[in-house]
Amino acid sequence: KVSLLVMPFVIPLALRLSRHSFREELRYFAIANVLHGLLVNLLVLFDGAASSPLKIDHVFYRTAFESIAGIHPTYYGLYICLSLTVLLYDPQMRIWHRYAPAVLQVILLLYLLLLSPKISLMIALLLYAGHFVFVMRIKAVRKLLLLLASLSVMVLSYFTIPFFYQRIHEVARLLSSDPGNAIDNSMVFRKVILQTDLNLLHQSWLTGMGPARLQQNLDMAYLYLSGVSGVPVSSYNTHNEYLNQWICFGMAGLLYFLFIFYIHLKRSMGKSLDGKPDLIYLSCCLMIMISCMTENLFSRQHGVLFAALLLNLFYYEQRVSTSGRSVSADRLNGNK
């Protein structure tokens, strides 16, 4: 986690060594994700074809994907969501071909449906819903047609992609009279994890207990659960970054954690050259904040580097206006 502390000091120096905005390279990040997803899915297909009997359940697919790609589905889903944001709002993407961004978006969405990380799917849906309602400037009739087409694609995916169907079925069972047990339904086990977290929070909500004691208490709680239920249960982390910071560092730690997001949200809302929200920066902030609701995003290197690198790059970026002066310099002169 040293990246969280070091990045804010390294990035401003690195950006001043270059006259170009790092945003010019984000489109290559999106294209690289398309190629990477194609390669990994081909290897997963080869791995599945070699197994006997052939398995098509989402557990096998997600396990094989993580083993081959070397990244947890949650963090890979964040990469896809960021790529979708770049394809939507980066004007450089349309230089190559008018329909190229749309084709790449469809491919990335297919990867997301195959992997079906629930939080990333929700972020993608919110991203497109926000773009559809607040950003697109087209006639109401065309919006209605696009909405109907999007719903048709989702329904078709539900019936044709078994992994997507199985993940949706888990959520649907949670709302039914027979949600199943915590072993068969990961959504049911999420309730067990949340209750365990709240029990620990009740003990030290004000001053916290520190990260080492937190994990020790979690290990003991799941060991006790294994003994009571008679079913071996692995130890888990809190699966909620806000609760994790709160239990570890108390109320002061939680407020400090929320203050970091406040700084980035405030910066992103007035970062663009025309004074409007910087949509890529803002989307990046929101997807990290939403992911923190269901994952310990900063407990893995992928999550730490994703947040530390991107948020600091956006924060310290000097957007250059047509006159050749940075926005920051213009504002300082205006204040004077």
pLDDT digits (tens, 9 = 90+) for 241-297: 999 999 999 999 999 999 999 999 999 987 665 667 899 999 999 999 999 999 999
> What does the pLDDT read at residue 321?
37
Residues 6+ apart with CB under 8 A from 146: 132
Burial of 107 from C-beta contacts in 10 A (0-12 / 13-18 / 19+): middle
> What does the pLDDT read at residue 261?
95
The answer to whether the beta carbons of residues 119 and 77 sit under 8 Å apart is yes
The separation between CA 233 and the C-alpha centre of its own chain, rounded to angstroms, equals 27
Q: Show the DSSP H helices in 161-295 as ranges.
A: 162-174, 186-203, 211-229, 241-269, 279-291
**Whole-angstrom Cα distance, residue 163 to residue 111?**
11
Closest to 58 (Cα-Cα) out of 121, 124, 120, 115:
115
pLDDT < 70 regions, the chain:
19, 51-56, 94-97, 177, 179-185, 271-275, 318-336
The separation between CA 7 and the C-alpha centre of its own chain, rounded to angstroms, equals 20
**Whole-angstrom Cα distance, residue 9 to residue 231?**
48
> What does the pLDDT read at residue 271?
66
231: left (phi > 0), else alpha (psi -120 to 50), else beta?
beta
**Average pLDDT, whole number, for the chain?**
85
251-281 per-residue burial string, b: 16 or more CB within 10 A, e: under 16: eebbeebeeeeeebeebbeebbeeeeebbbb
Other C-beta atoms lying within 10 Å of the C-beta of residue 142: 10
Cα 259-135-15 angle, rounded to 5 deg: 50
> What does the pLDDT read at residue 161?
87
> What does the pLDDT read at residue 180?
66
